[in-house]
Amino acid sequence: MSQALQDLKQLNNIPEFEERITEEEIKYTAPALDVMQMNVGRLCNLTCKHCHVEAGPSRTEIMDRRVMEACLAVCKEQGIRTIDITGGAPEMNPDFEWLVEEAVKICSHVIVRTNLVILGEEKYRHLPKFYAKHKIEVVCSLPYYQAKEMDRVRGNGTFEQAIEVLRKLNALGYGKEEDMVLNMVYNPAGAFFPPAQNAMEKEYKSRLWEDFGIVFNNLFTITNNPMGRFEAFLKRSGNLESYMKKLSDAFNGATLPGLMCRFQVSVGYDGKLYDCDFNQAADLPVMGGAAIFDMQGKSFEKRRICFANHCYGCTAGQGSSCGGATE
Amino acid sequence: METYYNPEDLAKFGTIGEESPAPAEKFFDYYGTVFAEGALTAREKSLIALAVAHTVQCPYCIDSYTNDCLNKGVSAEQMMEAVHVAAAIRGGATLVHGVQMKNIVKKLEL
């Protein structure tokens, strides 16, 4: 168990997460997988203060083509409906475009998670058109609809650059045409919870339209998971215990059936399998410690999910997942 | 008692019903209804509550509604604007009474 998970376990007044699950079935994945999430590397052009995988320009972990091929083979064999590509900035993986082109051949729903800012850099400026050509669902993170709050989390000037890219995506039809989906992610910029997803979506839509003429499809509000840089901030600022207490107090059993780990497998840059991207950050591999190569040529077997106290991040209030609120 | 205000006491708010449960129950029911989404959004109500909390200078309420505003996606800039609204009304209420002072002076002075 990683140091971060041990630290969470030792906090006072926080019951073990797994003890809160009363139905045994919830501890297992669904009979078939809906989503394969591929973390293609931790290399990123940004160093966001809340990043749970601690991505940044100096990270060297990159998924190679051998791992990508195995992921694609498993998706094909098991009829997985969604391939969700994340990072880091996934665009910085040298095989990224190859992966996307191959992914759309076998899967009707391919998602790329982007920080937007990367798409304004010279080397990557062609990618919005590339996404449009392949009808990729773009899920972009925009921590706030105003510059000051976003720049505080991602660095000076990042908001303005992201707005430019959003305009470009809109001009290509993203957020406007039926099969050009542009979804946005909101993370709280501190030790507090996200607002009600539908209320914040209205707020984002109204502000981005009125201030910048930008449209998008859906807003996903995601609770910050106490891992990586966000966990370090919680410790440094003396907020770890109170944040975990708030998460634990806000535990909502109704979110358990929709936990994303029940419907997906998450693949690390080196092919290791995890129940979710947060478990990657926590260095908590799937039970038995398998890799993507072990799934090839085999039928899917239900998996016992590995839980720890960081999982409270997905069950507080309205629930949280890579696709937003779960209740 | 080291101080009149302890942050831990905020979580004990519900215990005010121990001695006199009936009105407390009615109050908390009313409170819940007031803050539910209605013609005003829960977010707008939270900002009003934050401004009023500063006007009545209640540390518990300031703590509660600063957190509540953050949880509702309100930025520090927006919160400070709400506090300025409270300050303007307080300041304005003081100044507008200057008219009474002027009326009295006008009546009494030669």
CATH architecture of A3-314: Alpha-Beta Barrel (3.20)
Q: Please say if the pLDDT value at position A12 is more than 90.
A: no
Q: What is the mean pLDDT of residues A206-219?
A: 98
- CB-based contacts of A82, cutoff 8 Å, min separation 6: A34, A35, A36, A107, A109, A110, A111
pLDDT above 80 (res A68): yes
Averaged over A6-23, what is the pLDDT? 93
Indicate if the pLDDT at residue A287 is higher than 90.
yes
**Is B73–A200 a contact, with Cβ atoms under 8 angstroms apart?**
yes
Q: What is the 3-state secondary structure (H, E, C) of chain A?
A: CCHHHHHHHCCCCCCCHHHHCCCHHHHECCCCCCEEEEECECECCCCCCCCCCCCECCCCCECCHHHHHHHHHHHHHHCCCEEEEECCCHHHCCCHHHHHHHHHHHCCEEEEEECCHHHHCHHHCCHHHHHHHCCCEEEEECCCCCHHHHHHHHCCCHHHHHHHHHHHHHHCCCCCCCCCCEEEEECCCCCCCCCCHHHHHHHHHHHHHHHHCCCCCCEEECCCCCCHHHHHHHHHCCCHHHHHHHHHHCECHHHHHHCHHHCEEEECCCCEEECCHHHHHCCCECCCCCEHHHHCCCCCCCCECCCCHHHHHHCECCCCCCCCCCC
- Please tell me what DSSP assigns to residue B4: S
Share of chain B above pLDDT 70, in %: 99
A195 to chain B: closest CA residue: B72
Q: Is B41's CB within 8 Å of A199's CB?
A: yes
Mean pLDDT on A142-154: 95
Query: Once rounded to an integer, what is the mean pLDDT over residues A181-205?
Result: 96
Residue to substitute from A149, A185, A201, A241, interface B, most B β-carbons within 10 A: A149
Q: What is the CATH number of the domain that holds B66?
A: 1.20.1290.10
Q: Please check whether residue A266 is in contact with residue A274, taking contact to mean a CB–CB distance below 8 angstroms.
A: yes
What average pLDDT does the segment B41-57 reach? 97
Q: What percent of chain A has pLDDT over 70?
A: 100
- Give pTM, 2 decimals: 0.90
Measured between beta carbons, the chain B residues lying within 8 angstroms of A199 are 37, 41-43, 72-73
- Kindly indicate the confidence band of residue B78, based on its pLDDT and cuts at 50, 70 and 90: very high
pLDDT on residue A301: 87
pLDDT exceeds 70 at position B1: no
- Assigned domain for B22 exists: yes
Q: Which residue of A has its CA nearest to B66?
A: A192
> Is the pLDDT at A276 greater than 90, yes or no?
yes
Residue type, A315: T
> Which pLDDT score, from 0 to 100, does residue A327 have?
83
- Which are the contacts of A264, defined by CB distance < 8 A and separation ≥ 6? A33, A34, A35, A36, A37, A84, A275, A276
**Considering the domain boundaries, does residue B33 fall inside one?**
yes
In the prediction, which pLDDT does B2 show? Answer: 78
What's the token pair of residue B84?
A: 């300025």
pLDDT at B105: 95
Contacts of B42 in chain A (CB under 8 A): 196, 199
Chain B residues touching chain A at CB-CB below 8 Å: 37, 41-43, 67, 70-73, 75, 77
pLDDT at A278: 96
Res. A11: pLDDT tops 70: yes
C-alpha count within 13 angstroms, C-beta hemisphere, residue B13 = 10
The boundaries of the domain holding residue B74 are 7-108
pLDDT at A176: 97
Summarised one tens digit per residue, pLDDT across range A101-119 is 999 999 999 999 999 999 9
CB atoms within 10 A of CB A63: 28
Contact between A225 and A17 under an 8 Å Cβ cutoff? The reply is: no
pLDDT digits (tens, 9 = 90+) for B86-110: 999 999 999 999 999 999 999 999 8
pLDDT in tens, B2-28: 788 888 899 999 999 999 999 999 999
In a domain, B2, yes or no: no
Look up residue B84 and give its DSSP letter.
Answer: H
A150-188 pLDDT tens trace: 999 999 999 999 999 999 999 999 999 999 999 999 999
Number of domains in chain B: 1
Q: What pLDDT is attached to residue A272?
A: 98
- What are the start-end ranges of the H helices in B1-110? 21-35, 42-55, 59-71, 76-96, 98-108
